[in-house]
Amino acid sequence: MSKLLLLLSLVALAQCGVFRVPLWRGKSLRQTLEEKGLLETYLQKQQARLGAQDADSKGDREPMRNYMDNEYFGNISLGTPEQDFTVIFDTGSSNLWVPSIYCNSSACSNHQRFNPAASSTFEGTNRTLSITYGTGSMTGVLGYDTLTVYEITITRQIFGLSVTEPGDIFTYSPFDGILGLAYPSISASQATPVFDNMMAQNLVAENLFSVYLSRNGDGGSFILFGAIDSKYTSKGITWIPLSAQTYWQVSMESVTVSFLPIACLGGCQAILDTGTSRIVVPKESLPSIQFFLGATLTGQVSCNAVRFLPDVVFHIHGDHFPVSAQNYVIKQSDGSCILGFEGMDSDLWILGDVFLRRYYSIYDRANNRVGLAEVV
């Protein structure tokens, strides 16, 4: 199954039978640092900072790791006894996979690897798995084992054990694997997704989950399985029916700036994707967005102009969802600023983390809808 772009993460916490966790992606910032020879130094500083975030945690909430405002990821364990992994909680894909001892790719050498021989509850299969993402790919084999996501324990969860992870994208990722949260219809090799097993095994209070993404590198991001946190819905929830039960896909009427339609003219389809860092648009729509926001063709904008830039408004299901320049302008490591929009050869819009940091998002499988609540 092809995912349109790579990214994501979340954090774990339990409250009265409902549970929290984290998400991923990564691209331009890492590439920029690598080109300048600064990647290793930056990663060391970030790891030290993440450790400080964990040390500051209190109570039941495990801090979500917000990595450069670019990746959100959290913890799971597989097997008996437990083998621990960090994963992106990705609403833009449906498969769970982690590196395994069968993998000799460079990406596996510096990540945790699952050893099936060390788990008394592992069940092997003769089925294979192959996933191509927009910025990476993996192949592997499928197996069953006990999965624990914070305090939720799922028996006989099918997952991928990677055999190859080509290229560099996973080599430099701060997480080990990906946990997909989209519908079974797009699951590679028809593997049952994790949340479907949570529902089938009656492990969640309600058949929904919700996501909060922090900004500016702050902690506090989470995924909450089985409930909605009322702290983040004080302005109310806007519910939007899905237009397809594949990705978390909705119909969008238009995109406007200062009341002027600038893209998605006549309507388009969009997905809410915690695994993509930017807002990804059809390639032909990108120049119009750049023009109306005063950016160059490479997406550069003046950092001093951010406070004067207009909102970009997404019109979805008869309602409007503004995203301010504070959300859609990204400050890079060299001090320059760029738009958080990318073009792609597809008609589908991807509302990634740039959009989702503005809205607490709720993914309701019971009613096949998504909810958006503006973050105060």
Query: 51-55, 252-256, 257-261: which has the minimum mean pLDDT?
Result: 51-55
Percent of the chain with pLDDT over 90: 73
Give the per-residue SS3 of 159-190. Answer: EEEEEECCCCCCCCCCCCEEEECCCHHHCHHH
Between CA 29 and CA 48 the distance in angstroms is: 18
pLDDT at 372: 98
Averaged over 64-93, what is the pLDDT?
A: 84
Q: Please report which confidence band the pLDDT of residue 97 belongs to, taking 50, 70 and 90 as the band edges.
A: very high
pLDDT band of residue 144 (cuts 50, 70, 90) is: very high
Taking 90 as the threshold, does the pLDDT of residue 139 lie above it?
Answer: yes
Q: Where are the alpha helices (DSSP H) in the chain?
A: 28-35, 39-55, 106-109, 194-200, 286-292, 325-328, 353-356
Looking at domain 230-374, its CATH superfamily turns out to be Acid Proteases (2.40.70.10)
Q: What average pLDDT does range 265-292 have in this prediction?
A: 96
Q: With a cut of 50, say whether residue 318 has pLDDT above it.
A: yes
Q: Which residues are catalytic?
A: 90, 273
Residue 309 contacts residue 325 (beta carbons within 8 Å): yes
Give span(s): CATH 2.40.70.10, the chain. Answer: 7-225, 230-374
- CATH H-level superfamily of 7-225: Acid Proteases (2.40.70.10)
Cα four-point dihedral sign 162, 166, 171, 172: negative
Q: Is 54 or 130 the better-scoring residue by pLDDT?
A: 130
Tens of pLDDT, residue by residue over 192-241, are: 999 999 999 999 999 999 999 988 767 789 999 999 999 999 999 999 99
Predicted pLDDT of residue 217: 67
The pLDDT of residue 9: 32
CA nearest neighbour of 223 among 337, 94, 64: 64
Q: ∠ at Cα 110 (109, 112), nearest 5°?
A: 90
18-22, 170-174, 177-181 — which one is most confidently predicted on average? 177-181
What's the token pair of residue 88?
């992106």
pLDDT of residue 69: 52
Angle subtended by helix axes 39-55 and 28-35, to nearest 10: 130
Provide φ and ψ at 324, rounded to 5°. Answer: -80, 165
Residue 30: C-alpha distances to residues 38, 42, 67, 170 (Å): 9, 9, 11, 12
The average confidence (pLDDT) of the chain is 84
pLDDT surpasses 80 at 57: no
- The whole-angstrom separation of Cα 82 and Cα 337 is 43
Overall average pLDDT of the 258-279 stretch: 96
Cβ burial of 153 (10 Å; 0-12, 13-18, 19+) is: middle
What average pLDDT does range 53-82 have in this prediction? 61
Give the integer Cα–Cα distance in Å for 136 and 171.
10
